[in-house]
Amino acid sequence: QKEVEQDPGPLSVPEGAIVSLNCTYSNSAFQYFMWYRQYSRKGPELLMYTYSSGNKEDGRFTAQVDKSSKYISLFIRDSQPSDSATYLCAMMGNAGGTSYGKLTFGQGTILTVHP
Amino acid sequence: ETGVTQTPRHLVMGMTNKKSLKCEQHLGHNAMYWYKQSAKKPLELMFVYNFKEQTENNSVPSRFSPECPNSSHLFLHLHTLQPEDSALYLCASSQGQGDTEAFFGQGTRLTVV
């Protein structure tokens, strides 16, 4: 079993739609939860990060973490064609643990927002 | 230049060749990483350096040999690679090894023929 599972898609939505991207994980030591965005022919860039459980909002983006279910989500409201990219979830444990200091990534979900 | 720069952007090499990938960061970070990105697979961490010392080798075959002469530069020396090693190799850096934000270069697209 992979430590982090993410549906690779592809996901295609019309402009203005609400997009929901998800990851599940098996390692209960993960405490830091990140979403990276990767445009074609570019390296990933950090979009949002959350520590432990809860929600975090940044503009059109909302990250949610449910540690009891080992499930994280990224919501994109009013999606735009410029949001078309691959979205990667990533996770890391606390200091002192074996998963500290190294990001474990999901496979990435390819998203296309068409006008 | 700013950020993380990787060279070359594309590389085609035969299985008997020796080549090196270069990464340079201008962010003043102390930790640097090599990742491998293959189609339909998650990003795989290969090596981690923190303050020039290797702190992680994720069971990478010896045909991949990293080198970190200082905190700003990272190399990946390649020799006798296999076709299945063809992938996008990404370098990243972060302020410290435990940081949640890693800054990635654009990667080197490697094809082994």
A72-88: pLDDT as tens digits: 999 999 999 999 999 99
Chain segment A50-64, per-residue pLDDT in tens: 988 889 999 999 999
Window B:32-61, CB contacts with A under 8 Å: 33, 40-43, 45, 48, 50, 55-56, 58
DSSP assignments along B72-99, one per residue: TEEEEEEES--GGG-EEEEEEEESSTT-
How far apart CA B50 and CA B11 sit, in angstroms, is: 27
**Mean pLDDT across the stretch A6-12?**
94
Cα separation values, B99 from A57, A62, B50, B95, B103, Å:
20, 21, 12, 6, 10
Residue A106: name the closest of B40, B46, B100, B42 by CA.
B42
Average pLDDT over chain A, rounded to an integer? 94
> Are B100 and A6 within 8 A, CB to CB?
no
Mean pLDDT of chain B: 95
Cβ of residue A101 closer than 8 Å to a chain B Cβ: yes
Of A14-18, A99-103, B65-69, the poorest mean pLDDT is in A99-103
pLDDT of A13 above 90: yes
Q: Looking at per-residue confidence, does B98 or A19 come out higher? A: A19
- Judge whether B100 is closer than 8 Å to chain A, CB to CB: yes
Closest by Cβ to B100, choosing from A32, A88, A104: A32
Q: How do beta strands A109-114 and A85-93 pair?
A: antiparallel
B1, pLDDT greater than 60? no
pLDDT at A38 over 80: yes
Mean pLDDT along residues B12-32: 96
pLDDT class of A100 with cuts at 50, 70, 90: confident
Yes or no: say if A18 and A81 are a contact pair by the CB < 8 Å rule.
Answer: no
